[in-house]
Structure 1
């Protein structure tokens, strides 16, 4: 059971497992007791129109714990610093050059479209840089 800051215990707990392997514990508190509570405005217990108020705690699975540990590594942090530049180029390819939707069916056709689109975008970028250099 979980105890709120005022000292009230949860009435029940529901344990659920998500598709990603995480376990969620949902602690349910009495709405009647919460209504009379002096700390009601500062409470972290979920506010809803249901008959009870609840608070959820996530317990990460082994696989997700490994991912979280990797995300704290220095290698990951360095890679995240350059990600925005890559995402900016991908966004340009999708928005300005039509890579959002496939022209033909099949994986091979999509690969060709991707290569030609990237080639076109790079040529445009080179021409723009040469024009700037000539000025």
Structure 2
């Protein structure tokens, strides 16, 4: 299975999904014109990954900002990882800058609605 990677743009995040080692990352800004179209290939990739996941999968979410439609897509991504977690270990690391309460609250919200181990990770703001 090939890895799924996308280079970030000012409106779309870096997507790095390594099928060989189970290391996944979503980072940057997620405000694409059409979130559903943007994330659709990744969701399809995750369907394939779910059939034969690594023994441990780690997703690092390190977004500085995402819009409402991206939020819905993030839930879809995490729901697919819930299915992987029924077979193999999945850990989600939700990174946020210490002064960014909105991003911290988003991580806490995802923790409440999903059956996944989500660890909130504080990133010290660069001054």
- Report the TM-score, using the length of structure 1 for normalisation: 0.22
More relative contact order, 1 or 2 (CA 8 Å, 6+ apart): 2
Higher normalized helix content (fraction of residues): 1
| TM-score scaled by length of structure 2 | 0.23
Highest CA radius of gyration, 1 or 2?
Answer: 1
